[in-house]
Every structure is written in structure tokens, then in C-alpha cells.
Amino acid sequence: MILSTRGLTKSFDGLKAVWDVDFDLPQGEVRALIGPNGAGKTTLVSMICGRITPSAGSISFDGRDITTLPAHKRIGLGMAYTFQITSVFPRLDARENVALAARRGRKGDAAVEAALARVGLAGRADQEAGDLSYGHQRLLEIAMGLVQEPRLLILDEPTQGLAEAEIDGFKTLIRELAGDTTILLIEHNMSVVMELAEQVTVLNFGEVLAEGTPAEIHENAAVQAAYLGSG
């Protein structure tokens, strides 16, 4: 397993956002993490990538305990994470944003251009990130993750704000990456989940409700009930 958690828990002022989660992600798999709003998805991946500290439990990456490791050290081990809210530097152009990420991953200029091209932004490399549309900012963030050539790429709502053609391009990109890069995808667009994921983990009220193939999850009565009225 490239990533495992055991008993992972996070409480905020007594509220259990994530509770006792055991999670295993095999190397090379595309895994979707889904659940209603407030289910704890972003809290879970924030603990995995080191942005917040667990209240209890452990996290291992490629067999190494990383529970207390700072986020930048996890990047150095081969983990990249794109945020649900864009975190680009608005006054830098697209190329400079990717170049900053490339330096974190110790990659050169050719890798920067290749990453921009892979997400369809080669023609916008000199445009200030703050002037890009929201959808293009999301794609820029993905390029910033890709340029590090991560072993694990965590994408938080990557298709939010993308046009249909851009979503199609995103699907193609994930299919190209699959196998070489392990991908954890937090996604509300169920057609994206059903087309791309090999396995799906469902969170509800901070706990794992179900795991299985997209078809198994689609037919799961408990999952259907959890989504009723959730939007």
C-alpha cells in the first residue's frame, strides 16, 4: 500500500469531523473519495497531506509512519495535493506558478512546459494567474501538482468550475496518469467518479460508510440513503 491510515480521527471543539478511519490505497490505483457535504472528506485529506494534525490515529506512506511529518516533508516523499479552493499566486503568471512548484519537486524548465501542456494551458503560460478563469486556475493547480511528478496525487474537487470540454480533457489526463501515479480524487461529479475510479470510498458523518467498485457503490442502498437531500 502506498497510503494507509489506522484509526484516523479529528475533532474540532468536541465535534468529530473524522472518526476512526482505516483507509488503504494500493499503489497505481485511481480512488475516488465521495460523500455528502460535511462528511469529512477535506478534513481527512488535510490530515493525510499534513495540513492539519490528527487528534488520534496514524498515517503511513509507502510503509513509513508520517503521522507527525510536516507537509513540506511529505511533498519531498512524493505526495502532491491540490486544494478545493485555488491556491495559485495571482500576480505571477502561469509559468511562474508551475516553476515554483517545480522547485519544490526539484524539476527543471522542461517539466514546467510539459505540465502546462498536459493540462491545456500552454497557450496561457504568460498570463497572470489572477486573470485566468476559475476553471483555468483549477487546471493550473493540477499542473503545479503534476510538475512534481508525485507518487501520490490528491485532487480536491478538480472539476469544479470546469467547462464540459475541460472536464473531458481532465478525464483523458487522469487516464494517462493512471498506473504510473496513484490518484486520490475527491469529487462531487458522479459521472467523473464512475468513469475514472477503480475503487470508491464513501464517507458519511466522518466515518467510512462503504467501499467498492463504482458499480457496487452505485447500487449500495446505504450510500443512496446518505445522498438523499444532500444536493
Task: Tell me if 226 is assigned to some domain.
Answer: yes
Of 167, 153, 204, 192, the closest CA to residue 3 belongs to: 153
CA pair distance 42, 196, nearest whole angstrom: 20
What confidence score (pLDDT) does residue 125 get?
A: 94
Q: Give the chain's domain count.
A: 1
Residue 131 domain flag: no
* Residue 5 counted as domain residue: yes
Query: What is the arrangement of strands in the sheet containing 152-156, beginning at the earlier edge strand?
Result: 79-82, 152-156, 182-186, 30-34, 199-204, 207-212
- CA 153, chain centre distance (Å): 6
Q: What is the pTM of this model?
A: 0.86
Domain membership of residue 225 as a residue range: 1-77+184-231
Average pLDDT of the chain to the nearest whole number = 89
pLDDT category, 230, cuts 50, 70, 90?
very low
Residue 205 lies in a domain: yes
Over the stretch 119-146, which tens digit does the pLDDT of each residue have?
889 999 999 999 998 888 888 988 988 8
Give a yes or no: residue 71 inside a domain: yes
CATH code of the domain containing 57: 3.40.50.300
